[in-house]
Amino acid sequence: MFSLHEGSGLLLLLLLAGLQIAAEARGAPPCSPGFSEDLYTVVVPDITEKGWPLFNVKFVSCGRGGLVRFECSNPSDFRIEDNGVVYAARTLQRTPAPASPLLIKAVDTTTRQQWVTQVKMMPPTQVQELAVPPLMSKNFEEIVFPPQNADSTLKRIKRDWVIPPINVPENSRGPFPQELVRIRSDHDKNRSLRYSVTGPGADQPPTGIFTIDPISGELSVNKPLDREHIPSFHLRAHAVDLNGNQVENPIDIVINVIDMNDNRPEFTHQIWNGTVPEGSKPGTFVMTVTSIDKDDPKTANGMLRYKILSQNPESPSSNMFTINNKTGGIITVAAGLDREKVPQYTLIIQATDMEGNPMYGLSNTATAVIRVTDVNDNPPEFTAETFFGEVPENAVNVIVANLTVTDKDQPNTPAWNAVYKITGGDPTGRFSVPTDPTTNEGLVTVVKPIDYEISRMYVLTVEARNEVSLARGIHPPKQSTATVSIRVTDVNESPYFDPNPKLIRLEEGMLPESTLTMFTAQDPDRYMQQTIRYSKLSDLANWLRIDPGTGRISTIAILDRESPYVKNSLYNATFLATDNGKPPASGTGTLQIYLVDINDNAPKVYPHEAEICEKPEPNAINITALDGDLNPNAGPFAFELPHRPQDVKRNWTLTRLNGDYAQMSLKIGFLESGIYEVPIIITDSGNLPMSNTSYLRIKVCQCDMNGDCTDQQHIMAAGLGTGAIISILLCIIILLILVLMFVVWMKRRDKERQAKQLLIDPEDDVRDNILKYDEEGGGEEDQDYDLSQLQQPDTLEPDAIKPVGIRRLDERPLHPEPQYPMRSAAPHPGDIGDFINEVKTH
């Protein structure tokens, strides 16, 4: 069987859960609760850091579980956990061994039954002197394997053996390697065995942490352990003979790294920001701060507690806030938060492990910045009780007064922004008070014209509020209301016509110098003695005249309803009224004249031109009449043909269709093509009817199948139609082109003739007669040469020869007496050939 022994130096017990089962298998008495030893002897290092595990006491609970609570007789130096591990409560220095042992008491919280054991602590030097093994107990627990039969068949008695885990504290200072336990098999009595361990920490990464002596079976740790890195190790122990044959089934060994308080709490943020409204009641939640500790949260090493170390400023109280020591939640505990007095608080928060024990726990701090947010607890107040302003009458959209207020709330917030309201003195709504977004002032503005003659003074009552309501329990003071006194000044106002426009009704045809009406204006300035003068501003037809002093309107021309300036029988004229104020003011008025129609226009035939076929198939056109007058001075109309000339009634027939239309048709079976001017007498239906003889231009022509005149007949009937004009233009263009071509040909022929004149004998060439003079350059006289003489001297006209009186003295005569017969201007073709042959011979 295997047996596990505690290693010297670490003083840890290997708890074996199978001891009870083994005892029952040997026929031991039933389980009895209590400590496994009445006296434990442990070795205490010379220096023990706070939080180090020292030893472990074994308590057999017999199924009582967590109902047993442990206590020690020296709680200031030692503390014991529920699992029986005893830790140093503070840093311990080497001291002489205490006279009396440490008492450990176990209390059943249900039955109040108690058990007591003693622990004798010895320094390492004393252990060496006494040659006492550094063990908790001189009796080592062994795992007893069930007996085996002759056929080596293992018989299980009850259940699998469970090896309790081995607890090893982290951050041990050594020396290393440190022995933890010893593994042994009963088969080592009759043969040599070799022991080994496998698993992470042994032969698997991280390798080399744990090793085992293959002969003695001592399991050791070779370096300090870190629980925050690896909290536990799972190894398997093996026992084989020298031939490598397995003699025992592998057993599992669990090594738990016992946590030490080696990590300080760390806040997730070094600076925490929170807000709380001013005036908040005690108990108002503000914010939550959080800290973490890498130590085991199931032990006191990782159990944090929070507290507020300081508050700045300490106004109005040094304890305005408190913090939940477990959750980190910060709440208010006192009233009196006022942003206008203290806008911000700074708290120093401390987090401590070991459940906040100031002596043993590790601490860290962070800063909590709490900003007091504004609420509308300060109403706006006017800086004066009365404000004054002045405005000229009739002015609109002008600022007459600026209202200033003060507000202690945070600027540019709804609790600071002012809203102004007129509560009295403006029944007609002529003023408004918008807010200047930059200065928060109230701008008293005129929105409707003010008449000085009606009211010379306005006294307004204005109230100032914020965009949000005041906080509960706060009422606006008297200073939130002010009076605004506005004085209205008089200005020269424009005269006005009443009514405007003015409508009068007249018959058209009124003669010049007829009086129509009086069109006068009124001056609104009752307190100014002023006169008004009138003038004409707009009279498109130039029909009217106005008296400058009285405003009497008369005609200067006949009023005609059919004038193009009359629209829908209405004629508009505009007049100007100007006073003599300083500066002068003027106003306009419109006179509308409705002209009643009279029968002053004779009717005319329409259309003025028409076409009709030579043969009456069909052979009729419809005509009507145009009359500038309105009904009843227009239609219905009467149409008739005159008696003279006689051929009118002989050739044409006029039939009345209705009051507005008549039909004109050929009376005879055939009429020669041409254009005929047919007179028609038309009479309207006025009270005094008017008649008029209009001429209808009718084109008689040959028609196609559709009854339309053919193109040839159009040309014949119209004389020179569009086609004829185009043909004439084309002929003119062609003629011009021919003339141009002829002129070009003539010029080209002249050039050829001149070229032939140059083909003469060399001795006859005038160029042989050019003299050389001993002078270079010359004035403008020397440059007045006729170079054409050098080309064709024989073709010069006698008139082209300069007179003798204007020749230079040294100039040769331009036409000397010929010494040889004169050649004709047009040489014979044979001469040209002789000239060419002579040139070749030379």
Confidence of residue 778 (pLDDT cuts 50, 70, 90): very low
Structure tokens at 775: 């002078």
Cβ(364)–Cβ(353) below 8 Å: no
Confidence of residue 750 (pLDDT cuts 50, 70, 90): confident
Q: What is the pLDDT of residue 716?
A: 46
Q: What is the pLDDT of residue 127?
A: 43
Structure tokens at 234: 């799972």
Distance CA 753, CA 403 (A): 109
Cβ(504)–Cβ(587) below 8 Å: no
Q: What is the pLDDT of residue 639?
A: 84
Please, which residues bridge with residue 466 across strands?
418
Q: Which amino acid is at 690?
A: M
* DSSP, res 207: T
Distance CA 326, CA 115 (A): 34
Confidence of residue 423 (pLDDT cuts 50, 70, 90): very high
Chain centroid offset of residue 712 CA:
75
Spatial neighbors of 203 by CB under 8 A, at least 6 apart, are: 197
Confidence of residue 616 (pLDDT cuts 50, 70, 90): low
Alpha helices in 383-431 (DSSP H): none
Q: What is the pLDDT of residue 126?
A: 52
Structure tokens at 310: 């300081």
Q: What average pLDDT does the segment 185-198 reach?
A: 86
Whether the pLDDT of residue 131 is over 70: the answer is: no
Cβ(425)–Cβ(461) below 8 Å: yes
Cβ(375)–Cβ(337) below 8 Å: no
Confidence of residue 440 (pLDDT cuts 50, 70, 90): very high
Q: With CA atoms as reference, report the closest residue to 258 among 574, 13, 529, 573.
A: 13
Distance CA 69, CA 59 (A): 11
Q: What is the pLDDT of residue 687?
A: 76
Q: What is the pLDDT of residue 344?
A: 95
Structure tokens at 122: 């010895």
CB-neighbour burial class of residue 59 (10 A; exposed 0-12, middle 13-18, buried 19+): buried
Distance CA 89, CA 370 (A): 37
Helix (H, G, I), strand (E, B) or coil at 812: coil
Whether the pLDDT of residue 817 is over 70: the answer is: no
Helix (H, G, I), strand (E, B) or coil at 651: helix
For residue 523, count other CB atoms closer than 10 A to its CB. Answer: 21
In the chain, the percentage of residues whose pLDDT exceeds 90 is: 32
More confident residue, 187 or 18: 187
Q: What is the pLDDT of residue 148?
A: 42
Q: What is the pLDDT of residue 289?
A: 97
Spatial neighbors of 364 by CB under 8 A, at least 6 apart, are: 264, 265, 266, 267, 291, 350, 351
pLDDT in tens, 459-515: 999 999 999 988 887 888 888 999 999 999 888 888 889 898 999 888 888 889 888
Q: What are the structural domains of the chain?
A: 34-122 (2.60.40.60), 167-258 (2.60.40.60), 266-373 (2.60.40.60), 381-489 (2.60.40.60), 496-596 (2.60.40.60), 604-701 (2.60.40.60)
Confidence of residue 209 (pLDDT cuts 50, 70, 90): very high
Q: What average pLDDT does the segment 101-121 reach?
A: 86
Cis preceding-peptide flag for 75 (omega within 30 of 0): no
Whether the pLDDT of residue 125 is over 60: the answer is: no
Spatial neighbors of 120 by CB under 8 A, at least 6 apart, are: 39, 40, 41, 42, 97, 101, 102
Element (DSSP H or E) covering residue 650:
helix 646-651
For residue 356, count other CB atoms closer than 10 A to its CB. Answer: 19
Whether the pLDDT of residue 183 is over 90: the answer is: no
Q: With CA atoms as reference, report the closest residue to 625 among 616, 617, 633.
A: 633
Please, which residues bridge with residue 41 across strands?
120
Q: With CA atoms as reference, report the closest residue to 589 among 686, 715, 713, 504.
A: 504
Confidence of residue 841 (pLDDT cuts 50, 70, 90): low
Please, which residues bridge with residue 587 across strands?
577
Whether the pLDDT of residue 296 is over 50: the answer is: yes
Whether the pLDDT of residue 419 is over 90: the answer is: yes
Specify the residue for token string 């204007």. 806
Q: What is the pLDDT of residue 718?
A: 46
Q: What is the pLDDT of residue 8?
A: 29
Q: What is the pLDDT of residue 490?
A: 83
Structure tokens at 189: 């009595």
Whether the pLDDT of residue 75 is over 80: the answer is: yes
pLDDT in tens, 758-774: 555 545 554 444 444 44
Spatial neighbors of 620 by CB under 8 A, at least 6 apart, are: 612, 663, 664, 665
Distance CA 835, CA 829 (A): 10
Q: With CA atoms as reference, report the closest residue to 696 among 654, 637, 638.
A: 654
CB-neighbour burial class of residue 96 (10 A; exposed 0-12, middle 13-18, buried 19+): exposed
pTM over 0.75, yes/no? no
Helix (H, G, I), strand (E, B) or coil at 305: strand
Highest mean pLDDT among 162-171, 535-544, 743-752, 782-791: 535-544
Q: With CA atoms as reference, report the closest residue to 353 among 288, 294, 270.
A: 294
Whether the pLDDT of residue 401 is over 90: the answer is: yes
Confidence of residue 837 (pLDDT cuts 50, 70, 90): low
Distance CA 382, CA 484 (A): 11
Chain centroid offset of residue 154 CA:
83
Q: What angle do helix axes 711-718 and 722-757 make, rounded to 10 degrees?
A: 80
What number of helices (H) and strands (E) belong to the chain? 7, 51
Q: What average pLDDT does the segment 29-49 reach?
A: 76
CB-neighbour burial class of residue 17 (10 A; exposed 0-12, middle 13-18, buried 19+): exposed
Q: What average pLDDT does the segment 233-237 reach?
A: 93
The phi, psi pair for 187, rounded to 5°, reads -75, -5
Distance CA 407, CA 404 (A): 10
Whether the pLDDT of residue 161 is over 80: the answer is: no
Helix (H, G, I), strand (E, B) or coil at 300: helix
pLDDT in tens, 261-288: 999 999 999 999 999 999 999 999 999 9
Q: What is the pLDDT of residue 394?
A: 87
Whether the pLDDT of residue 155 is over 50: the answer is: no
Highest mean pLDDT among 433-437, 597-601, 627-631: 433-437
- Helix, strand, coil % in the chain, rounded to nearest 5: 15, 35, 50
CA atoms within 13 A on the CB side of 109: 9
Q: 3-state secondary structure string, 220-289?
A: EECCCCCCCCCCEEEEEEEEEECCCCECCCCEEEEEEEECCCCCCCEECCCEEEEEEECCCCCCCEEEEC
Whether the pLDDT of residue 714 is over 50: the answer is: no
Q: What average pLDDT does the segment 518-528 reach?
A: 82
For residue 179, count other CB atoms closer than 10 A to its CB. Answer: 18
Q: With CA atoms as reference, report the closest residue to 381 among 314, 438, 465, 298.
A: 465
Distance CA 454, CA 614 (A): 85
The phi, psi pair for 762, rounded to 5°, reads -60, -35
Confidence of residue 25 (pLDDT cuts 50, 70, 90): very low
